[in-house]
A and B are shown apart, each in its own frame.
Chain A
């Protein structure tokens, strides 16, 4: 598999993994313009775990969506892995998202009526990994999150914690450079939350994968290398947090 955005093909990816600067994003709802991001700036180093906290409506999810290439900023600088993503075409953004970014959502977003193995395989399918190889990778990842005996279970047959572990295995399937976790423990009990965060951070640190985790949970935020706070569409300077 030839990766378009493999680090060796980029110009010396020695800088931060992610750099967003002065990002602005607004939406028009019923004729009223709402500025959600008002000049948001953030840098994340390779392998760094950053927690993003802030009140609801502060723009955390919008920032995460833009960083994850699910949305685009109206203006501002956005460089990921040495690539200016604002200049990429839709297909290139999709491929970058597929190969270099993993997602863990609060609501898991597993495909219904598909087995755990099939769910973990989806990014591999999109990356063009052959069937046998992707099954092996998916199996290995599910075993690594403790679901080796639930390979053929469908989402509705799994608990919330188990579903989130499947989602975590899926996020890790292509060994991304960055994992974006939007309230990954928001729908889980305390024991499951702890287990998910343990596994997420263990995998990330062992693979030098950066993690940006949006959370309201102080315990989750406390496990990050760094916590940034968002308020009214901006990331507050450290001294104001």
Chain B
């Protein structure tokens, strides 16, 4: 598993904005409950969030959804600015956060162009009825530290450990391996896997949809590519006959 390069392909065309991924992520990763009060304070924690944009003028209004999570950039801007190495790149292509080291300078969160790093402004609390619902495989983060999407690293670790023990191979796209958001997506808009495995679904999608040698045929793009962060998340753009091509940065 050491030479895996985990990544995701998000088909924006398939996303219905149902927020199942958000809820799945919250319960899998012990993310504190975002109450109305927390939202109004603008301190909600959502490791994956579905952003909703309105397009067009009334009555021709269309809702557009885009799920945004940590892009696990190869050249992550959050990593060099942390004074205590609380965030670093592991050898599986993931950007990981070490909660014990974090002292909460919030430097990484400022430097993330995707705004996917979340700070624990308060001590997280769950109602009594939900305390037994917490995932024992995931640390409950205390106040004063940063947290972010881990690609459900606990699932990767458990699955590879069990596979090693039983002497079997892990198949691409196995439910036990995939992050909670991917498993919960009803339209399979999220696809997750190993970019180093040439036969994986994500590799095939990347091969098909991303540009090669300057020619661009597919729908694939990486978010804010102009910043040079080399994300490991590929977005496939929406299919819309009436949409006009706009170029933001050239």
Instruction: Specify whether A and B are partners.
Output: no
Chain A interface (Cβ < 8 Å from any Cβ of B): none
